[in-house]
């Protein structure tokens, strides 16, 4: 039967990583893959994670299954981190999932089960795995304008115009913070306008929050998600712990589904448990236990927050340095957007030819749509990148 299989399209970022590894040049710079790296190019295990793991290894007495939804303490801790007090607890159903990707997958399965006609609206552009999973599941989808290639800011007028065509029961996928791949984000008043429009249309939000703490701060980055969650009767939130806890390979995420009341929440929770059971049964526990240990221990939590804050400020400093360097080289403010963007990524607006030219001439590897990972830089490589950007004529 395998002879019927077709080649699947190669993952562009993984292919880029392969090219980078094969490049013998010492000066090469990897701005491709979406993983945080410090100034030494290392993706470190965070201090609080190491300590939490030490405690878990020392104290854990069983590896028996947890629950189908994962450990309830993980759900409580993550609901607190992401939603704060925005929504009454008895309206929130939650399941642990393998990473944020697992949470997105389960949210889409829930949507498909609840409403076969619902269309899912995606920002153009968005994280490529969104349309990939949606198409794989056969869910109808639409896109809304999001990015203005000229200003490198949000095309808000285009977004509002496109969302004007929402039908009742449609789902809008929104990036809670640190939009991937553009780095451009809605302002608080713009969020309010999107919420009002979606409510008027009877649409339902699906918020993907994968970078809480990488933008303006832990609470600041959750503000939009909390506002959305509080404003709607029904809402889905897929959160990832990969980036902010640096536990990428542990596959730790959570799906929260907010129902209109506590009665409905029970059915929603049962359905989420059912979907976990169909797809992978009990979710992975180790990363979730690490996260719960950190969030529930004041000392570990303070240390985690401090290290996350250093990480965030490091990326902001690199953004500012790059914007300043480009201002100096071009005598213009046209790269000011780099300091304004938030999160690990910025789309710099280079054409595919210019991206290829930077790779060939200067060993700078960024994704073909000119998304670059700011965390792939350090203070010494920033001037080299700035010079290459100018040389390529971006
Ligand atoms: C926008 C977005 N959502 C979700 C994820 C999911 O991450 P993970 O499955 O590694 O937790 C990512 C990771 O790159 C992302 O960029």
List the catalytic residue out of 121, 243, 339, 369.
Answer: 243
Determine the residue of 36, 96, 104, 210 to mutate for testing ligand 1's pocket, defined as the one with the most ligand atoms within 8 A of the Cβ atom.
210
Q: Identify whether 28 is a catalytic site residue.
A: no
pLDDT the model gives residue 10: 81
What pLDDT score was predicted for residue 319?
98
Is the backbone peptide bond immediately before 138 cis, with ω within 30 degrees of 0?
no
Taking CA atoms only, the protein residue closest to ligand 1 atom 12 is: 210
* Cα 258 from Cα 300, distance rounded (Å): 29
User: Where do the domains of the chain lie, and which CATH numbers do they carry?
Assistant: 10-43+301-391 (3.90.1150.10), 65-296 (3.40.640.10)
* 3-state SS track over 112-140: HHHCCCCCEEEEECCCCHHHHHHHHCCCC
Whether residue 210 has its Cβ less than 6 Å from ligand 1: yes
Q: Given this model, what pLDDT does residue 335 score? A: 97
| Selection from 351, 354, 348, 334 nearest residue 377 by Cα | 348
Pocket lining: 242 vs ligand 1, CB cutoff 6 Å: yes
Atom of ligand 1 nearest to the CA of 242: 11
For ligand 1, whether the C-beta of 253 sits within 6 Å is: yes
**Strand blocks (E) in 147-277:** 147-148, 153-154, 171-175, 204-209, 235-240, 253-258
- Ligand 1 pocket member 36 (CB < 6 A): no
Q: How many CB atoms lie within 10 A of CB 164?
A: 11
Dist. CA 171 → ligand 1 center (Å): 19
What distance in Å separates the CA atoms of residue 359 and residue 351, rounded to the nearest whole number?
12
What is the reported pLDDT for 12?
83
pTM of the model: 0.97
CA of 3 to the centre of ligand 1 (A): 32
Q: Which residue is closest in CA terms to ligand 1's atom 13?
A: 210
Residue of 352, 342, 349, 350 whose CA lies nearest to 374: 342
Q: Indicate if 243 belongs to the active site.
A: yes
76 assigned to active site: no
Strand order, beta sheet including 120-124: 92-97, 253-258, 235-240, 204-209, 171-175, 120-124, 141-145
If 0-12 CB within 10 Å is exposed, 13-18 middle and 19+ buried, where does residue 338 land? buried
CA 232, 235, 240: angle at the middle one, nearest 5?
135
CA of 99 to the centre of ligand 1 (A): 7
Tokens of 255: 């799906």
Q: What's the DSSP call for residue 153? A: E
Q: What is the pLDDT, as a whole number, of residue 13?
A: 86
Note whether 92 and 107 are within 8 A (CB): no
**177 touches ligand 1 (CB under 6 Å):** no
Distance from the alpha carbon of residue 210 to the mean position of ligand 1, in angstroms: 5
Q: DSSP letter at 35?
A: -
Give the distance (Å) from ligand 1 centre to CA of residue 2.
30
Q: In terms of Cα–Cα distance, which of 29, 137, 33 is closest to 381?
A: 29
As a whole number of angstroms, the distance between CA 324 and CA 133 comes to 39
Model confidence pLDDT, tens digit, residues 160-205: 999 999 999 999 999 999 999 999 999 999 999 999 999 999 999 9
Cα(256) to centroid of ligand 1, in Å? 16
Which regions in the chain score pLDDT beneath 50?
none
Distance 101 CA to ligand 1 centre (A): 6
Ligand 1 atom 15, closest CA: 210
- With a 6 Å cutoff on the Cβ, whether 245 touches ligand 1 is no
Whole-angstrom distance, CA of residue 281 vs CA of residue 378: 42
Closest atom of ligand 1 to 126 CA is 1
């Amino acid at each position: 039967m395998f002879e019927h299989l077709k080649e699947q399209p190669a993952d562009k970022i993984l292919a880029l990583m392969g090219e980078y590894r094969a490049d013998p040049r010492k000066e090469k710079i990897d701005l491709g893959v979406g993983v945080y790296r410090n100034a030494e190019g290392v993706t470190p295990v965070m201090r609080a994670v190491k300590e939490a793991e030490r405690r878990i290894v020392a104290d854990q007495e069983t590896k028996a299954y947890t629950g189908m939804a994962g450990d309830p303490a993980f759900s409580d801790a993550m609901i607190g981190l992401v939603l704060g007090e925005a929504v009454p607890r008895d309206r929130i159903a939650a399941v642990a999932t393998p990473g944020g990707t697992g949470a997105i997958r389960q949210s889409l399965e829930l949507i498909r089960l609840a409403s076969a006609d619902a269309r899912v609206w995606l920002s153009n552009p968005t994280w490529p795995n969104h349309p990939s999973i949606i198409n794989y599941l056969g869910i109808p989808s639409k896109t809304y304008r999001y990015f203005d290639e000229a200003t490198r800011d949000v095309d808000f007028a285009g977004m509002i115009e496109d969302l004007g065509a929402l039908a009742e029961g449609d789902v809008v996928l929104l990036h809670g913070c640190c939009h991937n791949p553009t780095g451009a984000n809605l302002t608080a008043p713009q969020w309010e306008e999107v919420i009002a429009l979606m409510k008027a249309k009877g649409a339902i939000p699906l918020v993907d929050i994968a970078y809480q703490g990488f933008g303006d701060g832990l609470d600041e980055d959750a503000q939009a998600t909390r506002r959305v969650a509080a404003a709607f009767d029904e809402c889905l939130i897929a959160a990832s712990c990969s980036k902010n806890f640096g536990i990428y390979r542990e596959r730790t995420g959570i799906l929260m589904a907010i129902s209109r009341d506590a009665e409905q929440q029970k059915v929603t929770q049962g359905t989420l448990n059912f979907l976990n059971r169909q797809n992978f049964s009990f979710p992975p526990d180790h990363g979730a236990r690490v996260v719960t240990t950190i969030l529930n221990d004041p000392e570990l939590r303070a240390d985690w927050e401090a290290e996350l804050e250093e990480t965030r400020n490091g990326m902001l400093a690199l953004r500012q340095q790059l914007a300043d360097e480009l201002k100096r080289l071009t005598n213009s403010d046209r790269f000011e957007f780099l300091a304004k963007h938030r999160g690990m990524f910025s789309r710099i607006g280079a054409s595919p030819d210019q991206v290829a030219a930077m790779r060939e001439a200067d060993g700078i590897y960024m994704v073909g749509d000119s998304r670059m990972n700011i965390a792939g830089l350090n203070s010494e490589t920033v001037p080299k990148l700035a010079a290459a950007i100018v040389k390529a004529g971006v």
